[in-house]
Chains A and B, each alone.
Chain A
Amino acid sequence: MSAPPAQSAIATTASPTWADVNRDVIRTVGMPGDKYFAWMCLVALTLACGAAAWAWQIWVGIGAAGKRTPQMWAMYITTFVFWIGIGHAGTLISAILYLFRAKWRTSIYRGAEAMTVFAVMTAGLFPLIHAGRMWFAYWLLPYPNQRYLWPNFKSPLVWDVFAISTYLTISVVFFIVGLVPDIAALRDSATGIKRKIYAVMSLGWEGSDQQWRHYRRAYGLLASLATPLVLSVHSVVSFDFAMALVPGWHSTLFAPFFVDGAIFSGFAMVLILMLPMRYLFDWYAYIADKHLDAMAKLILVTSLVLSYFYSCEVFTAWYSGDHFERASVFAKATKEYAWAYWLMYSCNSVTPLVFFWRKARTHVPTLYIVSILVLIGMWFERFNIIVPGLGHDFYPYTWGTYYPTVTDTTIIVGSFAWFFILFLGFIRVMPSLSIVEVKEVLPHPLKHGHH
């Protein structure tokens, strides 16, 4: 899949050589500076608070979180769906864009994949945090037992268990397979104990034609398996709502709606992670304006699609003439949670519109601010589905307002710390830019000029 150098995706004046790539990537791996440790400490501290809050909640009971009748789900499930959504960009880039041979993916996909794995690992915590008796959460798994106690395979929650564990496994496999040749490169540049460690992790990769041929086939097949998976995972997660009776949940719209939103927020997160890395690691040669532009465009498109789905939601509520649906939408837009509703619209449907301007698409501060707003907006999208949706459903007797508590808020902040501690750790021990794939899109070394 080498490209004629003329169409090389990296459009910098002095295009780096293959040796430069090894150098530029490998130097990011190794002993970090004090600034890095300072950040790590901050993140670790936050994580500790989150863990403590969770311990407290397990001790006194789920009542420590602000849940109530009818909002028996609230911020935990919101954040769960949020992280699952973030986890979509990675596999999307490495699978779908791979199949479409979109060259600009090469310099961001490694970071995106790492983000995916860690985001899913974060999301995976929330079902546990949320369960009233988390110590029995393993009952959702179909493990053999002499009493024939099995999970209820008709329950969307069990679908979740399968979808998410599959997604995590496949993402991790994909991630590791991609890493192997790069670790081999690390190994060959390292010395001493480091060399030994990398030698083991690289599985003794040598890049012989024998290895490459199976590797490339398998990689292609993995990509084609992962593609339907990406689309299915968030569809299945959306079934948690679509399969329920609650007005505003019970809708066939949800699968595509959630998938689009996931890609939307995923790319925002990629930008949030990549822009600092580009600056700190001085990777301007590899993550060029072209890449930013491409991602901005994707965010713009997904945002427009999302706005379409939003209008569908409102339209169907009105057109169905269903009293409950109408009341639910009306309450969301006008009652105690209206602020969240309109915040969602302005973040997800309005702010990304700036990307219609070419300049904005490559203007780093703009990109950064919009990405953050998009993440906020997408968190509140899930919040608006769950909390106000439940708060104004069929039965007026129980309508009411949910209030967050210190406990659940701390746990949720802690989940972000958990994600970042994993990611920060990763970028210091592994190549967060794919050596092999970046080389692939560089001009190949030819003796007799380019024909």
Chain B
Amino acid sequence: MSVMDRRSFFKVVATTGAVAAAGGCGPSAEQLIPYVVPPDNIVPGIPAYFASVCRECPSGCGLIAKNRDGRVIKLEGNPDHPSNTGTLCVRAHAGLQGLYHPDRFRGALSGGKPIEGDVAEKLLADKLGALAKARQGGRIAVVSGLETGSLGRLMDEWVRLLGARPRIAYEPLGYEALRAANRVAFGRDAIPDYAIGDATYLVSFGADFLETWLNCEGYTADFSRMHAFYQGKQGTFVHVEPRLSLTAANADEWLRNAPGTEGLIALAMLKIILDEGLQAPGTDLATLRAAVRAADVEGAATASGIPADTIKVVARDLAKSRGGLVLGGGMAASGSTATDALVAINLLNAAIGAVGTRVRFGSASPFGKVSPYSDMVALTQAMAGGQIELLVLVDVNPVYAMPPKSGFAEALGKVPLVVALASRPNETTARAHLVLPILHPLESWGDYMSEEGVLGLMQPAMGPVQIEGKAVAARATGDLLLSVGRQALGLEEGKGPLKWSAFQDFLRDEWQKGSREYGGSGPFGDYWEAALRRGGVWRAPGSPTVSLRPEAGRLQAGVATLDGEGSHVLVVYPSSRFYDGRGGDRPWLHEVPDSITQVAWDSWAEIPAETAQKMGITRGDLVKLTSPHGAIELPAYPTDLVHPGIVAVAMGQGHKYPGAFAQQGNAAPGTVSQANFLNVGANPIELLPAAPDPASGGLPHLAVKVAIARTGGRRPLAIPQAQFNQDDREIAQWVGLGPARELELRGKPPEHASRPGMYPAVKYPEYRWGMTVDVDRCTGCQACVLACQSENNVPTVGKAQVAYGRIQHWIRVERWQEGTAAKPVNMFLPMFCQHCEIAPCEPVCPVYAAYHTKEGLNGQVYNRCVGTRYCGNNCPYHVRKFNWFNYTWPAPLDLQLNPDVTVRQLGVMEKCTMCLQRIEAAKGTAREAGRKVADGDLQTACQQTCPTQAITFGNLKDGGALVSKLSGSTRSYHVLEELGTTPAVTYLKKVVRAEPAGGHDQGGHKA
């Protein structure tokens, strides 16, 4: 069978609507669209969708890129992809801003000066060649991110041919301790998949699986499967962590432990289970008993600050549930006792019979293939020792991600030639002698194994981005390695190793080899094309038998040892927005508020309220945190939601990006200048020791005590949410599990419409669009905010404007807290235009810019708006956003704008439209098919991306539609119902297991 060339391939794929890919992969969209006879069946105005893989973090979710006129304008999850099943997180959405980043390298740089690409490649090739010939390959080092697909194999092959040092797959969040613990407990150097969805009783020791931990997007969906209230049932989730993380906020019970005591608690639980004989049948009792020899419940209680009774209750319920699952991550997966703690957790899982059932090594996580941090330390020493002559950094940023004490930055100076392959400038590229620009994953071919048996396929969703009409002179990493490798080794194209003319061909060969494993029978062409359409191939996971090793019994759990004389333990946690910091150059991620603190832009130090009070620190005061290894300065955020002994700082900010956009941003005229636009905040890594944790080889994030000092300065934080106490306004409502079950079984739905009205009933000829939002399902991940922002051309306005209540997001995720600080009940409430039937905003508009459509939408006519802002005052939900300035999208960010949505100009009011453009599109398709829009024909952007399906959209006139059913649910209510605005958006109450202290039953509404 002839190898299909690129062009003819696209002819094939074009049938699937892959049109614009050709447009994309051609020289550029701008040059293609005006063609009178468009090549490769380009149809301007018709979007094409491409399956690919998200590479914003190593979990590798499947995604679908929407290409419109040769430009990717929106990312959505790939429903077929097993690891995320159609949804995406904030970081994935913001991937677009990496693709269209104004600071993207236009071409190769040498010492910061632009040079010709081939010249730059020759420089590298010659150096490689020289070293290889001189049998000096050992002086070549290659560091890349985690690449579990063909590119990884190509790089290893490349390294082998050059005789270079083995490639380091560097991930700042490597979870080395998890692997170490699995080596000890099960003799497996891997990280399993945790079937959270199948659990009925979930205990997590610091594993922030709703934020960053392993396959967090998939886990969020699984969590809602196990925990969301459904048919009167709800799983239980207990979370052990020193601070209230987003994950903790979603727990039925948050146990606030002293940091580093997770191991003790786990062992205590194990002891209780064994003592009471609650362990699952067929467990290796000998090993378990050995492990708990030294365990002591009271001791654990005193050390951790969690009452012994609580530990006992949790342990019993966990074991009795017979569907228990224990996770260990976050703080527990870091620091001196991490490995032992995680071994203890493994034992606990073994004791309750979770191993093999809910802990699945069959579908292992890609994180198992990360090179431990200790490799980087070794490399750094080698560099410092002058043993490295050529360092190739493939899309990694160790200068930022490694502690300064590691001396990596200095060691770079000792390397004669440092070559960085990257698409955007960062701290590391700034120090590289040679920068070879590479294409963004959305512009290149590739594949990624996001878990054992799930192999995602990446295809170019568009051509190289154009900046000022000129495509960036970048190449795909694979293509670059192939040509450079050939030059270096004097090989020629077509024969020998590295024979492939393009990485795409290598990829195809790799897939041809692997096709059998994935049941590929029949001609490879079909297999390949099917994979492209589907976004990859996946097979049923194997189920290897896993058994405890006696070594597991020899753990000695203790309290983590910390260096430094400081008063507080420093807790460094990965950011749900910036991950390990790689998201730090995306304005969208800066502007979407952190769900717990609601801080947008800048970073903050969570300081215990009592400490703050003692030291007279208020929110926004600058504090200096000093550890034996460094000091950082950042604004304080006093809170009673952290353990009194800790200070918590999120990773990911405090960058020093060299780019112009990163430094100035785009200040709207009249606003304060946005100096250090993306370089805001502080990097807590600078406080950590460089030495790897001996047991696991990982970087200990829980390792130091810090001293807190007021600097006297102030840097107020930008926090859109004024307060977390809803002042008895019942905006977010809850109902106890008992009553909820009661209602579910025989309750009648509350009659929202029965209110006597003064006005004639509004008529809806065909549709009445409406939504429901399940507060019980919403975990506050903020993905909907960015989905909306990218779909609806919502601008970012910068810190000053956000701080002054001028944030432009059409949808916001509010956190409302009830109960006490020790036992809070947190409710996350996505709030957006409620499309009220009796809308207060409409009649006050003097020019009919706001009016009610025949489909029940609250219409807003931008070009009729005069800007009296009366509607904004009169909207009780304050979801109307005003264009205070002319907001701009510096090139090429403007290429991301959705052509179907107006870009609003200065002085007009805007708000959620329930994705009107999608409704119209759906109506068009339905009309062509000669039918009405059916339920499920369309999803709004926020609904589409929601991992927990908290948002439902549809036609309220269609009684069969899911949205109608849910609106009639026994948990349904309208926000501020007593105002009689009769919104088209219905909320479903959160179901709480432990009713908040002082909380009153919110079954009824205010009279």
Set of chain B residues within 8 Å of A152, measured between Cβ atoms = 843, 845-848
**Are A68 and B846 interface neighbours, CB within 8 A?**
no
Q: Using Cβ atoms and an 8 Å threshold, which residues of chain A touch B506?
A: none
**Binary contact readout B873-895 vs A (1 if CB under 8 angstroms, 0 otherwise):** 11011101111111000000000
- Residue-wise, chain A 112-142 has the 8 Å CB interface mask toward B (1 for contact) of 0000000000000001001111101101100
The answer to whether residues A60 and B805 also contact, given A152-B843, A395-B878 and a CB cut-off of 8 A, is no
Q: Contacts of B805 on A, CB cut-off 8 Å?
A: 68-70, 398, 400
Q: Which residues of B contact A244 (CB under 8 A)?
A: 840, 844, 870, 873-874
* Contact A132–B907 (Cβ < 8 Å): yes
Does any Cβ of B come within 8 Å of A155's Cβ?
A: yes
Q: CB-CB < 8 A to B845: which residues of A?
A: 152, 155
**Contact A62 B907, CB 8 Å, known A69-B805, A132-B867, A139-B864:** yes
Given contacts A69-B805, A70-B805, is CB(A395)–CB(B876) below 8 Å?
yes
Which one of B721, B728, B866, B906 has the greatest number of beta carbons of chain A within 10 Å?
A: B866
Is A156 within 8 A of B844, CB to CB? yes
Interface check B252, CB cutoff 8 A? no
Residue A396, interface by CB 8 Å: yes
B907 touches A70 (CB 8 A): no
A157-187: which have CB < 8 Å to B? Answer: 157-158, 161
- CB of A132 within 8 A of CB of B731, answer no
Cβ A131 vs Cβ B868 within 8 A: yes
Find the residue from A59, A64, A70, A134 having the highest chain B CB count within 10 A: A70
How far is it, in angstroms, between the C-alpha of A59 and the C-alpha of B844 when the chains are bound?
27
Q: B804 and A68: CB pair below 8 A?
A: yes
Quick one: which of A130, A137, A154, A399 contacts B723, CB cutoff 8 A?
A399
**Chain A: which residue is nearest B598 at the CB level?**
A397
Q: Give the CA-CA distance A387 to B723 in the complex, in Å.
A: 19
Complex contact B866–A131 (CB within 8 A): yes
| Interface residue B468 (Cβ < 8 Å from any Cβ of A) | no
Interface membership of B722, Cβ < 8 A: yes
B848 cross-chain contacts in A, Cβ below 8 A: 149-152
State whether B885 touches A63 (Cβ < 8 A). yes
Given the complex of chains A and B, what is the CA–CA distance between A73 and B874 in angstroms? 11
Indicate if the CB atoms of A155 and B866 lie closer than 8 Å. no
| Complex Cα–Cα for A130 and B882 (A) | 13
Given contacts A131-B868, A132-B868, A243-B844, contact A397 B668 (CB under 8 A): no
Interface bits B708-732 vs A (CB < 8 Å: 1, else 0) = 0000000000001111011111010
Bound-complex Cα distance A60 to B906 (A): 9
Please, which residues of chain A bring their CB within 8 A of the CB of B720? 397-398
Question: Which one of B668, B720, B878 has the greatest number of beta carbons of chain A within 10 Å?
Answer: B878
Asked whether A245 and B722 contact (CB < 8 A) given A131-B866, A158-B846, the answer is: no
Contact of B843 among A64, A73, A155 (CB under 8 A): A155
Interface range on chain A: under 10, 10 to 19, 20 to 34, or 35 or more? 35 or more
- B contact patch SS: loop
Contact of A396 with B729 at beta-carbon distance under 8 Å, contacts A61-B883, A132-B866 already known:
yes
In chain B, what residue has the closest Cβ to A136? B866
Q: Does B671 contact A (CB under 8 A)?
A: yes
CB of A246 within 8 A of chain B? yes
Whether a CB of chain A sits under 8 angstroms from the CB of B865 is yes
Q: Which residue of B lies closest to A132 (CB)?
A: B867
Q: Is the CB of A63 within 8 A of B670?
A: yes
CA distance A169 to B866 in the complex (A): 25
Name the one of B670, B866, B876, B880 contacting A64, with C-beta atoms under 8 angstroms: B670
Taking a contact as CB atoms under 8 Å apart, the answer to whether B874 and A246 are in contact is yes
A399 to B867, CA, bound (A): 22
Tell me, yes or no, whether B686 is within 8 Å of chain A by CB: no
A41 interface hit (Cβ, 8 Å)? no
B874 with A157: CB separation less than 8 A:
no
Which residue of the partner chain, among B725, B729, B801, B885, contacts A60 with CB atoms under 8 Å?
B885
Give every chain A residue within 8 A of B804 (Cβ-Cβ): 68, 403
Q: Decide: A61 near B873, CB < 8 A? Known: A136-B866, A152-B847.
A: no
Whether the pair B722, A155 counts as a contact (CB closer than 8 A) is no
Q: Does B806 contact A (CB under 8 A)?
A: yes
Distance from A109 Cβ to chain B, minimum over Cβ atoms (Å): 34
Interface size class, chain B: 35 or more
CB-CB < 8 A to A68: which residues of B?
Answer: 804-806
Q: A245 CA to B878 CA in the complex, in Å? A: 12
Q: Are B979 and A396 in contact (CB under 8 A)?
A: no
A149–chain B nearest beta-carbon distance, Å: 8
> B829 — nearest CB in chain A belongs to which residue?
A397
- Pair A155/B870 contact, Cβ less than 8 Å: yes
| In the bound complex, CA of A63 to CA of B908 (Å) | 12
CB of A443 to closest CB in B, whole Å: 54
Contact residues in B for A396 (Cβ distance below 8 Å): 722-723, 725-727, 729, 731
Q: Is the CB of B844 within 8 A of A157?
A: yes
Complex CA distance for A139 and B671, rounded to whole angstroms? 29
CA separation between A73 and B844, bound complex, in Å? Answer: 14
Any chain A CB within 8 A of the CB of B923? no
CB-CB < 8 A to A325: which residues of B? none
Bound: A56/B670 CA distance, A = 9
Residue A382 interfacial (CB < 8 Å): no
Tell whether, in the assembled complex, residue B867 and residue A327 are in contact, meaning their CB atoms are under 8 Å apart: no
Q: A213 at the A/B interface (Cβ < 8 Å)? A: no
| Most chain A Cβ neighbours within 10 Å, of B668, B721, B844, B909 | B844
When distances are taken between beta carbons in the complex, the residues of chain A under 8 Å from B437 are none
Are B867 and A133 in contact, with the CB atoms below 8 A? yes
A393 within 8 A of B: yes
Q: Given the complex of chains A and B, what is the CA–CA distance between A14 and B872 in angstroms?
A: 62
Q: Is A332 an interface residue, CB under 8 A from the partner? A: no
A424 touches B (CB below 8 Å) = no
Please give the distance in Å from A325's CB to the nearest CB on chain B: 12
Residues of A within 8 A of B847 (CB): 139-140, 149, 151-152
Q: Are A394 and B979 in contact (CB under 8 A)?
A: yes
Tell yes or no: A274 within 8 A of B by CB. Answer: no
Contacts of A137 in B (CB 8 A): 866
B884 & A70 in contact (Cβ 8 Å cutoff): no
Task: Name the residue among B845, B865, B867, B877 with the largest chain A CB count within 10 angstroms.
Answer: B867
Contact B814 A133 (CB under 8 A): no
Closest residue of chain B to A240 (Cβ to Cβ) is: B870
Chain B's nearest CB lies how many Å from the CB of A252? Answer: 15
Interface assignment of A390: CB less than 8 Å from any CB of chain B: yes
Q: Is A234 an interface residue (CB 8 A)?
A: no
- Among A127, A133, A139, A140, which residue has the most Cβ atoms of chain B within 10 A? A133
CB distance from B264 to the nearest CB of A (A): 40
Residue in B721, B801, B840 whose beta carbon sits within 8 Å of that of A245 in the complex? B840
Q: Please indicate which of the listed interface residues A64, A244, A327, A398 has the most CB atoms of chain B within 10 Å of its own CB.
A: A398
Given the known interface contacts A60-B885, A132-B882, the answer about A395 and B731 at a Cβ–Cβ threshold of 8 Å is yes
The 8 Å CB contact of A394, one of B722, B882, B976, is B976
Report which of A139, A243, A390 forms a contact with B866, defined as CB distance below 8 A.
Answer: A139
Q: List chain B residues, Cβ under 8 A from A136.
A: 866
Complex CA–CA separation, A417 to B512 (angstroms): 83
Closest to B848 in A: A152
B-chain residues with CB within 8 Å of residue A150 when the two chains form the complex: 848
At the interface, yes or no: B669 with Cβ under 8 Å from chain A?
yes
Chain A residues whose CB sits within 8 angstroms of the CB of B844 once the complex forms: 155-157, 243-244
Minimum CB distance partner of A150 in chain B: B848
- Identify which of B868, B881, B882, B976 contacts A157 (C-beta below 8 A): B868
Residues 369-422 (chain A) with a chain B CB within 8 angstroms: 390, 393-400, 403
What are 21 A-to-B residue pairs whose CB atoms are below 8 Å? A61-B907, A69-B806, A69-B880, A72-B870, A132-B865, A132-B866, A132-B906, A132-B909, A151-B846, A151-B847, A151-B848, A158-B846, A245-B979, A324-B729, A390-B873, A394-B976, A395-B876, A395-B877, A396-B722, A397-B720, A397-B878
Q: Which residues of A contact B (CB under 8 A)?
A: 56, 59-64, 67-70, 72-73, 127, 130-134, 136-137, 139-140, 149-152, 154-158, 161, 240, 243-246, 323-324, 327, 390, 393-400, 403
Beyond A63-B885, A140-B846, A157-B868, list 4 extra A-B contacts (CB 8 Å): A63-B806, A132-B865, A132-B906, A399-B722
* 9 residue pairs, one from A and one from B, having the closest CB atoms: A132-B867, A63-B884, A132-B907, A60-B670, A72-B869, A68-B805, A133-B907, A157-B846, A72-B872
